[in-house]
Structure 1
Amino acid sequence: MKPLLLLATFLFSISSNAQTNSYTISFENAVHHEAEITATFPKVTSEIFSVRMSRTSPGRYALHEFAKNIYAVKATDSQGKSLTIKRPNPYQWDITGHDGTVNISYTLFADRADGTYSQIDETHAHLNIPATFIYAPEFSERKITVDFNPREDLNWKIATQLPLVANNTYSAKNLQYFMDSPTELSNFGLREFEVVEADGKKKNIRFVLHHNGTEAELDTYFEKIKKTVLAEEAVFGELADFDYGTYTFLACYIPNASGDGMEHRNSTILTSTRSLADGGMENNIGTVSHEFFHSWNVERIRPESLEPFNFEEANMSGELWFAEGFTSYYTNLILCRTALITNQEYVEGLTGTFNYVWNSPARQFFNPIEMSYQAPFVDAATSVDPVNRENTFISYYSYGSILGLALDLSLREKGLNLDDYMKLVWTTYGKNEIPYTIENLNESLNTYAGKAFGDAFFNAYIYKSGMPDYTALLATVGVGLKQDTQIPDFGATVAINTKMQGEIKRNTTIGSPAYLGGLDKGDFITQVNGQALPSTTSFEDYIKTFEIGTELKIDFLRNAVPQKTIVKIASSQTYSIELMEKQGKKPSKKILKNRAAWLTLQ
């Protein structure tokens, strides 16, 4: 039986290899941001064999049209014979005349290092897979291997969540996993630590850093990484089961990067122009906190609307207020719990997000679900026509973050907390990898906090766009919310130019004094009450010299035509958020205990 078993294994190996799509990528012309890529597709049975470049990237929801950056596309069969290529659309190549094998070669131009695109130069090859590799939709379930050819003269190494086959060859079980596996080739530094779970499972956390700093800086920063990882583990009670036992942070903190963060199933990309020595030690850690939280919330606690991820069309989800927004709520809360920022820094840091959401007129148009639907238009999407986002859109990151705050504090009034709700959603859906719907989130809150509470929260703040009583909620943890009513407000973003004209730089906010006065983006204010604008102060400070309720006579230019209007100064709509002690109040012992339970690692 032994020879037969060996024969069967050998035949299976041949069959398996025949059903594997393979790629190679090399970087001889990295100085000009080019890579040379080949792809081999065996056992092709379609008369017309179609390959594409992705139009989207996991974690992003807009279209990006990666096909624009590949050229010199050629196709041959197993004998090296050139094949006919036709282009039915901008992102597809139809190939005919093959003998069952199709070999494709092309050149990739790549010069943006972030969470979506690729960058190739003599510092690194930063590869997001959808932006790099052509693919065959009909073979989406085939195994894939990729042979990376690093620049040995530049001391490049390879870091990726893809499992290693041998040498520089890595594999993916299917197209979805391949597309979700960013890869960094550079002379990076590496640190890692092992987490042993309560059940004895060992999980490895690996931090890869491509930067121009020192080993000592990396050591110091890695300690922050460890604290962040362990604090987030405490929320869910365990780390996720990483597919190959390891989670990899791929960080590029270099001058030629673009600031970003992008989650993936067993890894994340972190990019910043800030070096650890130049503010990155403090300012880059927030992205670490946000993206690692995604290893639970969005990668495994996964909206049904994003399954499977579509590489040919924009991906729309109504759950981003939870997937991105609740993750954003935890981003700085985790840093506070680990003492990487102080309680005061955390609380005061809520101010900007709160004012943005609370004062936006956009809530009259869309609820959090509908704001989430806007992702394909705003998530790194570009357009040339002007839009009215100032009045019609609130980022689902911010909207969900503020709602997460409200839900957490509301639950704490009942002796509950958001951590345990997240844990319930994790054990019900994420751990079992059952995609969820908004209705499932509602049902889970009903299970955790009672049907009356859960339905009331969703009906008022998710299915509709109401706002909770933040003054009362924040008071329960000794935080004061105060409106700055004594500050005059004109209601427009105005910059004084060299001609001493005040250019309105953004759409005026619905209901603001400038909006009610008929002013809009692109108008140039020339005089106020018959006087020229000041040359020694900003327009914002100039407005503060007037009393609230004052009617200003405004002379302005619109399309170079002189016009006049009246703007009545109103009270500022902005709020400040501070610890009560800073406002001269003394919280009770009970309130301080509530605050500690909220802001301290339990």
Structure 2
Amino acid sequence: MPRPPQKTPASPVHYRVEIGDLHAHLFRVTLTIAQPAALQRVSLPVWIPGSYLVREFARNLQGLQAHQGARTPAPFEQLDKCSWQIQCNPAKPLVLRYEVYAHDNSVRTAWLDAQRGFFNGTSLCLKVEGLEKSSHTLELPAPATVAGWSVATGLTAQTVNRQGFGRYAAADYDELVDCPVEMGPFWSGSFSVRGVPHRLVVAGAMPSFNGARLLADTQKICETEIHFWHGSKKPPFKNYLFMLNAVDDGYGGLEHRNSTALICHRKDLPRVGEHKASDGNTTLRGLISHEYFHTWNVKRLRPSEFESYQYERENYTELLWFFEGFTSYYDDLLLRRAGLLDNAAYLKLLNKTINQVMQTPGRLVQSVAQASFDAWVKYYRPDENTPNATVSYYTKGALVALCLDLTLRAEGRATHGKTLDDVMRALWLRCKAGPLREADVAHTLAALGGRSFAPELARWVHGLDELPVKALLLKHGVAVLEDPAQLAHRLGLRVSEGQGVHIKAVLRGGAAERAGLAAGDEWLGLEPATQAETKRSGGWRMSRLDDLTLYAGAAKKITALVSRDKRLLRLTLTMPPLLTTWRLAVHDAALVDQWLGPQD
């Protein structure tokens, strides 16, 4: 039986979030400030921690009203794109009412329709300046317009009904906006690890969804990661919540202090009667592993620049290669240790990461530390030149972690068997109560590795040197084979195919760039390079890129027929030499097991 409602002391800052209009996608918010300042400022964040882009959440806020007393409007003015100032009588509570348009079906903002509601506090909850460190409460009244809905959130429940609607508490504004809210008729399951309750909710699942299997897989991941960080001890949170939104086309996740919001392709969910995990299901497991690892690495171990979030502007750091890159190294590695991958499957995933980095010309232009700093203007704002100008701090950062781990293992006698696992745990003990700096990483590597790793950090993190991935893999029993590269890679192209061949990006220094092809072109077909050959065989229409080798045959040069801005162009393309990509394979199973197998 649900507990009867109890009176709860009013908090200094209280939000009431109601479903305003399902079909107009509007949340209705009432913010009550018990003791406002004479000139009270409020503001809405422009970004959400974990997603490094100014998203301008205030563009979705509308109809702001301010009152002190039932009929006494409080004068206010807008100061900038996301801030307002209200003239108040400090002896009376200030009440602000407004609506927020919620129609972004991602993990970063807010969504509301007749099937589901979801929001991050950064999208809905105005920050009350001067009271950020005070206690906050959030009230979620049961909706009258829909039936069968429940609530899931990492916030602490004060007075809630069986479905989770009611009143929640947060110690401060940071905690309030770090606990997103899921509402709807979702599937729900739970398990416990070391006495800590974990809950998994899934919205949008198909009838064939195998919830028991996803729950079991998620439990294995959590058990493995808690053991990684703490051995037999408990983790630093009292409960944990996974919120998974299954959609027709989508992928991503956003970490929070005791929860994560995830989005995946519906087809990637495990299905009843399916005995082997699909590639898509493996991708979903990796996403779950990645976001859960962030519970330690970025939410508690965090860069010094994130010690106190500045919600109204960018927060720069050069350390995303560590916080995102090292997490990307461990997400699949810990799937292997959890028994959810075998060695061959793990190496296939690692192989993909290696080839992604090697096929990105931007790795020779921008260091991974600079890529971290530039995330706000480059990684989260990709365009056709992105692969030429920058490198992903996720993928290259993962390879930096790989190289450090394999180097430590290769120097095992000097390091007394220490690995990157030990470095991560030592950093946890060193920095869990405070910010982490690159100097902490360097110090810990030196302390456990028996020597300075400053040269490696200078070359691999701050420089443009190629990483010694191949040599290190060979030392650990992994053979590096070479296969013919796909045609797009040989040409230096990234394309989309379907209704013709459309060029998305032209990679620096490739044959396509030398021929003059450009992003946005539609590659219609080809002709032989000489007029005589054209008269003899004519030209060919291409419906996919592989048609090039079919119709060009052994020709060294061809004429590419291209449509650009409704103009037809003939561009001379010199066919490139054969290129290769890597394929990893187990060469020495015992050595591979020492690296990938269960660790003490």
Q: Shared fold (TM-score greater than 0.5)? A: yes
Shift of 1:137: 2.2
Shift of 1:494: 5.1
Partner of 1:460: 459
Partner of 1:8: none
Are the structure 2 counterparts of residues 486 and 507 from structure 1 closer, same or farther at C-alpha, using a change threshold of 3 Å? closer
Partner of 2:213: 220
Structure 2 spans left out of the alignment, 5+ residues: 1-6, 161-165, 272-277, 413-417
CA distance in 1, matches of 2:441, 2:539: 53
CA distance in 1, matches of 2:88, 2:542: 73
Match of 2:430 among 423, 428, 431: 428
Aligned 8 A contact 2:506 2:517 in 1: yes
Match of 1:398 among 392, 395, 400: 395
Partner of 1:419: 421
Shift of 1:549: 9.3
Partner of 1:38: 30
Q: Report Cα offsets for 1:203-252 as digits up to 9, x if no partner.
A: 22222333445698222211101111112123223489766611211222
Match of 2:573 among 567, 571, 574: 567
Partner of 1:298: 298
* Equivalent residue letter for 2:52: Y
Shift of 1:574: 4.3
Shift of 1:117: 0.9
Shift of 1:559: 4.7
Partner of 1:5: none
Partner of 1:249: 242
Partner of 1:262: 254
CA distance in 2, matches of 1:547, 1:213: 47
Partner of 2:479: 480
CA distance in 1, matches of 2:392, 2:243: 26
CA distance in 2, matches of 1:49, 1:171: 23
Partner of 2:142: 150
Partner of 1:86: 77
Shift of 1:271: 1.8
Partner of 2:198: 205
Local SS of the residue matching 2:200: strand
Match of 1:115 among 87, 91, 107: 107
Partner of 1:315: 315
CA distance in 2, matches of 1:565, 1:343: 46
* Equivalent residue letter for 1:578: L
Aligned 8 A contact 1:252 1:272 in 2: yes
Shift of 1:357: 1.0
CA distance in 1, matches of 2:498, 2:594: 50
Shift of 1:485: 5.3
CA distance in 2, matches of 1:119, 1:366: 36
Partner of 2:363: 363
Local SS of the residue matching 2:506: coil
Structure 1 spans left out of the alignment, 5+ residues: 1-13, 197-201, 581-586
Where in structure 2 are the equivalents of 1:574-593 lying within 5 Å? 574-580=580-586, 587=587, 591-593=588-590
CA distance in 2, matches of 1:463, 1:515: 28
Are the structure 2 counterparts of residues 558 and 189 from structure 1 closer, same or farther at C-alpha, using a change threshold of 3 Å? closer
Shift of 1:594: 1.9
Local SS of the residue matching 1:396: coil
CA distance in 1, matches of 2:209, 2:548: 48
CA distance in 2, matches of 1:243, 1:132: 28
Select between 52-61 and 18-27 the one with higher mean Cα deviation. 18-27
Shift of 1:19: 5.7
Are the structure 2 counterparts of residues 486 and 400 from structure 1 closer, same or farther at C-alpha, using a change threshold of 3 Å? closer
* Equivalent residue letter for 2:149: W
Local SS of the residue matching 1:284: helix
Q: Report Cα offsets for 1:249-286 as digits up to 9, x if no partner.
A: 1222245x843211001111112241535666544222
Shift of 1:381: 4.6
Aligned 8 A contact 1:371 1:396 in 2: yes
Select between 285-294 and 18-27 the one with higher mean Cα deviation. 18-27
Aligned 8 A contact 1:362 1:392 in 2: yes
Q: Report Cα offsets for 1:62-117 as digits up to 9, x if no partner.
A: 11111111212111003431122222222122222545421001112112232211
Are 2:25 and 1:24 aligned?
no
Select between 363-372 and 271-280 the one with higher mean Cα deviation. 271-280
Partner of 2:192: 194
* Equivalent residue letter for 1:228: I
Aligned 8 A contact 2:540 2:551 in 1: no
Partner of 1:236: 229
Are 2:507 and 1:509 aligned?
yes
Select between 358-367 and 312-321 the one with higher mean Cα deviation. 358-367
Are 2:325 and 1:325 aligned?
yes
CA distance in 1, matches of 2:232, 2:73: 50
Local SS of the residue matching 1:326: helix
Are 2:143 and 1:139 aligned?
no
Select between 84-93 and 540-549 the one with higher mean Cα deviation. 540-549
Aligned 8 A contact 2:190 2:198 in 1: yes
Where in structure 2 are the equivalents of 1:538-577 lying within 5 Å? 538-543=544-549, 550-554=556-560, 556=562, 558-559=564-565, 565-577=571-583
CA distance in 1, matches of 2:552, 2:545: 12
Are the structure 2 counterparts of residues 417 and 451 from structure 1 closer, same or farther at C-alpha, using a change threshold of 3 Å? same
* Equivalent residue letter for 1:550: K
Partner of 1:597: 594
Are the structure 2 counterparts of residues 450 and 548 from structure 1 closer, same or farther at C-alpha, using a change threshold of 3 Å? farther
Partner of 1:377: 377
CA distance in 2, matches of 1:304, 1:548: 58
Are the structure 2 counterparts of residues 269 and 467 from structure 1 closer, same or farther at C-alpha, using a change threshold of 3 Å? same
Are the structure 2 counterparts of residues 451 and 248 from structure 1 closer, same or farther at C-alpha, using a change threshold of 3 Å? same
CA distance in 1, matches of 2:450, 2:200: 41
Once superposed, what is the RMSD of the aligned Cα atoms?
Answer: 2.9
Partner of 1:66: 57
Are 2:175 and 1:177 aligned?
yes
Partner of 1:10: none
Percent identity of paired positions between Structure 1 and Structure 2:
23
Local SS of the residue matching 2:298: coil
Are the structure 2 counterparts of residues 359 and 258 from structure 1 closer, same or farther at C-alpha, using a change threshold of 3 Å? closer
CA distance in 2, matches of 1:560, 1:29: 44
Are the structure 2 counterparts of residues 490 and 188 from structure 1 closer, same or farther at C-alpha, using a change threshold of 3 Å? closer
Are the structure 2 counterparts of residues 544 and 339 from structure 1 closer, same or farther at C-alpha, using a change threshold of 3 Å? farther
Partner of 1:11: none
CA distance in 1, matches of 2:438, 2:232: 24
Local SS of the residue matching 1:484: strand
* Equivalent residue letter for 1:208: V
Select between 509-518 and 287-296 the one with higher mean Cα deviation. 509-518
Local SS of the residue matching 1:571: coil
Match of 1:127 among 119, 124, 146: 119
Shift of 1:346: 1.6
CA distance in 2, matches of 1:390, 1:234: 37
Shift of 1:163: 0.9
Aligned 8 A contact 2:214 2:270 in 1: no
Local SS of the residue matching 2:106: coil
TM-score, scaled relative to structure 2 = 0.86
What is the total number of aligned residue pairs between the two structures? Answer: 563
Shift of 1:125: 1.7
CA distance in 1, matches of 2:120, 2:522: 43
